[in-house]
Amino acid sequence: MLIEELFSRGIMKMGSASDGSGRLVGTFNPEFVRGLANERAAEMKTFRWLVGTWAYENSVPATSSSPAYVDAGSNRFTLCEKESWICAGPEGSEKRHLTFDPFSRQWIYVLLDGAYGILRSPGWTGDRIVFTGMMTMIGVTCEWRMSWTRKVDDHFGFVNEEKVSGDSWAYIDEWTFSRQSR
């Protein structure tokens, strides 16, 4: 059970309520959380290259009910929330998108607009990071895999796939990005 796990791992302990009432409540264990902010900051540096404005192309293959097409546009990524998140979107409407959770030691990719879900990754292997999780896009829910490849500082891309059965993944689409500005 969640609360039992948090206490047994030493993440939480009993402590005084912050309202000064004298009640004992579950609080973060200072010995456990010490250093987690530094760990997050160090991991966030591995994605700092993403900050800037990027031109993208999204190539979608033909299906039995739709033709192949390529969409194009641009997206802006910024450091936000005291540099603990990478936000994405047009200036003034950026949304939290990507962070490192030092408690689970996982990368978290959040979808909050049209597609909804939380994808997770254990981290980079060379120039590749793979996120997986359940997501819902315009009413369709699937298990999703997003595999990023950083080609060089000014080019990256990712391939989206959905789980179809057992351990099989089906190709959805591919996104390629080229830096426009930092």
DSSP sequence for 77-88:
EEEETTTTEEEE
**In this structure, are 103 and 138 located in the same domain?**
yes
Q: What are the structure tokens assigned to 164, written together?
A: 């179809």
Give the predicted TM-score (pTM) of the model.
Answer: 0.87
**In this structure, are 176 and 133 located in the same domain?**
yes
Q: Return the pLDDT at 74.
A: 93
Separation between Cα atoms, residue 13 and residue 85, nearest integer Å: 27
Read off the CATH number of the domain in which 169 is found.
2.40.128.20
DSSP 8-class letter at 114: S
**In this structure, are 61 and 136 located in the same domain?**
yes
Q: Return the pLDDT at 92.
A: 64
**In this structure, are 106 and 76 located in the same domain?**
yes
Structural domain including 60 reads 40-181
Q: Return the pLDDT at 69.
A: 97
Separation between Cα atoms, residue 100 and residue 106, nearest integer Å: 6
Q: Return the pLDDT at 94.
A: 81
Q: What are the structure tokens assigned to 152, written together?
A: 């060089």
Q: Return the pLDDT at 166.
A: 86
Consecutive 10-residue averages of pLDDT for the chain (182 residues): 92 91 92 88 94 96 96 94 89 85 95 91 96 94 96 93 93 97 89
**In this structure, are 10 and 93 located in the same domain?**
no
Q: Return the pLDDT at 99.
A: 97
**In this structure, are 64 and 9 located in the same domain?**
no
